[in-house]
Amino acid sequence: MNWNRLERPEQLKEIITESADNNILIFKHSTRCNISRSTLDRLERNWKDAEVPNVKPYFLDLLSYRDISNTIAEQFQVEHQSPQVLIIRHGKAIYDNSHYGIDFQEIREKVKS
């Protein structure tokens, strides 16, 4: 899985623009949380680029960039969770899930529709 690092607040504007042509996946990760680590590992093990060619994945270390995480919650009107995955399409969150609810097969189905 080839992550794009989300480390600057202005990247959120870029993500909204990109989401007109691609599905954007944002994974919010806590480096201090075992659930977050195991969920990330499971997602990366199951990820198949060929099955989701229209998805650009972004990785957010929310402990280092808590302000960006808070902006994401406000911008896309989702409750902050950790770990959490969002799918952004046409500037809106069309899907979000957290903890062990994060599943590659479900993500794949959401981006196909």
What pLDDT, on a 0 to 100 scale, did the predictor assign at position 46?
A: 96
- pLDDT of 113 above 80: no
Q: Looking at residue 41, what is its pLDDT? A: 96
d(CA 29, CA 15): 18
Confidence at residue 112, expressed as pLDDT on a 0 to 100 scale: 87
In a domain, 112, yes or no: no
Q: Is residue 113 part of a domain?
A: no
Q: What is the pLDDT at residue 1? A: 84
pLDDT at 27: 97
Helices vs strands, H then E, count in the chain: 4, 5
Query: What is the span of the domain harbouring residue 99?
Result: 4-107
**Residue 24: inside a domain, yes or no?**
yes
Integer Cα distance of 10 and 42 in angstroms: 29
**Residue 71: inside a domain:** yes
Render pLDDT for 40-99 as a digit per residue (tens, 0 to 9). Answer: 999 999 999 999 999 999 999 999 999 999 999 999 999 888 899 999 999 999 999 999
Instruction: Give the DSSP letter of residue 113.
Output: -
Domain containing 83 — which CATH number?
A: 3.40.30.10
